[in-house]
Each structure stands twice: as structure tokens, then as C-alpha cells.
């Protein structure tokens, strides 16, 4: 009888320990994921004026919004969704273009096509990203009709998180000719140059 009770006690201790380890691993994983989602990507000081060396044509007499993306970055899907919302509200007041990173052997610079309903330039080896001083997928630059930078940053509040953000609110205010609360925001995305595939995402 004593041996049976001891065996049951050992089993209880074993399963209790196993449950504690599982709980610790689960909580630890959640903490790591939360920290990752709130970790902003590298953000350089974007070009204050539209760089003359850029091969992207600047629209005449219109504000221009550029979103730089790496097609493999999963965080960028949320940014593209927020871009679509912005264009639904302000499409008549701003010219938008997506600048998508690709390998030099995947497409020639300035190849363009429709991507998420927006004209897209394929950026060979990140040449245009370097030109505009952009390092993270999902970064948005808004230039006014004179080619002066009005906003630089991300339009999501975390990696892959859709919804309200300081960046989207700032762009809304600028395109309504109002003074935004901020003109720079963190960019939650992957490194543009640090990812390897040149495949283009499909909506």
C-alpha cells in the first residue's frame, strides 16, 4: 500500500513539474513574440528633399507617398492594408507608389506593375531605398508638391498589426492641410536588404 501511494505521489510530482515547465515555456514564448512585435526596425534619417539621383519620377503639382517594402516581410501585409485605407480616404489628393525590393537578376530597375492596386517600382538591389535613406520594409515617405519631406515612418503600431497608428493619423492630418501631432514614427518591419527572396507577394 505504501509503495502504491509513493508511486502515485511520484506521478503527481512528475505531471505537476511537466505542467509547470510547459507553462513557463508558453509564457516565455508569448513574451518573446510580444517583444518582437513591438520592436521597431532600423530607421535612417530620410532624405529631406526628393533626391535628384532617384530614377522614380516625381509627380508634378501633387503630393507623393512612397512605401518601401520587401516582398518577403510578413509584417508588411498590415502596412499595405493601412496604405489601402489611406488611399481610400485621400486617393484624389496624393500620388502613391510602392517601391519593392528585388535582386539585380530578378528585374531591371524601374520595372513597374500593379501591386495591391498601386503602381509599383521594382527596386533592384535596394538602389532607391538607399537613395531615399530607407532601411526597413513598410516605411512610408510623404513628399509635398514641392518635393519636401512631410512625413517619414511606419503606419502600423506593431509588427503585422493593423489598426489605428500615429503614422496613419499624421498622414491623414497632413493631407487635410492640418498640422500633425508627429512627423516621424517607428517602422515595424523587416530589414529591406537583409532578406533574400525576390518573390512578389500576392494579395
Query: Domains of the chain: which residue ranges?
Result: 1-37, 41-203
Res 66 pLDDT > 60: yes
- pTM reported for the whole predicted model: 0.72
Q: Name the CATH superfamily, with its identifier, for domain 41-203.
A: Glutaredoxin (3.40.30.10)
Q: What is the mean pLDDT of residues 115-125?
A: 79
Q: What is the mean pLDDT of residues 72-87?
A: 89
Using pLDDT thresholds of 50, 70 and 90, give the confidence band for residue 10. low
User: What is the model's pLDDT at position 19?
Assistant: 47
Tens digit of each residue's pLDDT (9 = 90 or more) over 40-56: 556 678 899 999 999 99
Query: Is 174 exposed, middle or buried, given 0-12, 13-18 or 19+ CB atoms closer than 10 A?
Result: buried
Res 113 pLDDT > 80: no
b/e sequence 52-86, b meaning 16+ C-beta within 10 Å = eebebebeeeebbbbbbbbbbbebbbbbbebbeeb
- Bigger pLDDT: 80 vs 31: 80
Give the least confident one: 33-42, 73-82, 99-108, 190-199: 33-42
- Bigger pLDDT: 63 vs 26: 63
Using pLDDT thresholds of 50, 70 and 90, give the confidence band for residue 166. very high
Give the least confident one: 3-7, 40-44, 146-150, 172-176: 3-7
Comparing C-alpha atoms, which of 132, 136, 94, 100 is closest to residue 115?
100
User: What is the model's pLDDT at position 199?
Assistant: 34
- Bigger pLDDT: 19 vs 32: 19
Res 138 pLDDT > 70: yes
Measured in degrees and rounded to the nearest 5, phi and psi for residue 109 equal -60, 140
* Number of other CB atoms surrounding residue 145 within 10 Å: 14
Determine the Cα–Cα distance for residues 115 and 84; give it in Å rounded to an integer: 11
pLDDT, mean over the chain: 77
Amino acid at each position: 500500500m505504501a509503495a502504491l501511494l509513493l508511486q502515485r505521489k511520484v506521478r503527481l510530482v512528475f505531471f505537476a513539474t511537466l505542467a509547470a515547465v510547459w507553462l513557463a515555456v508558453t509564457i516565455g514564448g508569448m513574451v518573446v513574440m510580444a517583444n518582437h512585435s513591438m520592436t521597431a526596425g532600423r530607421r535612417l534619417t530620410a532624405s529631406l528633399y526628393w533626391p535628384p539621383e532617384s530614377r522614380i519620377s516625381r509627380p508634378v503639382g501633387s503630393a507623393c507617398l512612397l512605401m518601401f517594402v520587401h516582398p518577403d516581410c510578413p509584417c508588411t501585409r498590415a502596412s499595405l492594408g493601412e496604405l489601402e485605407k489611406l488611399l481610400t480616404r485621400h486617393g484624389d489628393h496624393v500620388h502613391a507608389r510602392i517601391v519593392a525590393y528585388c535582386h539585380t537578376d530578378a528585374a531591371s530597375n524601374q520595372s513597374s506593375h500593379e501591386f495591391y492596386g498601386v503602381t509599383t517600382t521594382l527596386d533592384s538591389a535596394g538602389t532607391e531605398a538607399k537613395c531615399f535613406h530607407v532601411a526597413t520594409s513598410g516605411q512610408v515617405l510623404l513628399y509635398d508638391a514641392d518635393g519636401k519631406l512631410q512625413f517619414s515612418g511606419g503606419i502600423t503600431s506593431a509588427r503585422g498589426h493593423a489598426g489605428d497608428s500615429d503614422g496613419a493619423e499624421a498622414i491623414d492630418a497632413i493631407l487635410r492641410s492640418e498640422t500633425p501631432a508627429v512627423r516621424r514614427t517607428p517602422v515595424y518591419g523587416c530589414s529591406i536588404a537583409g532578406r533574400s527572396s525576390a518573390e512578389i507577394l500576392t494579395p
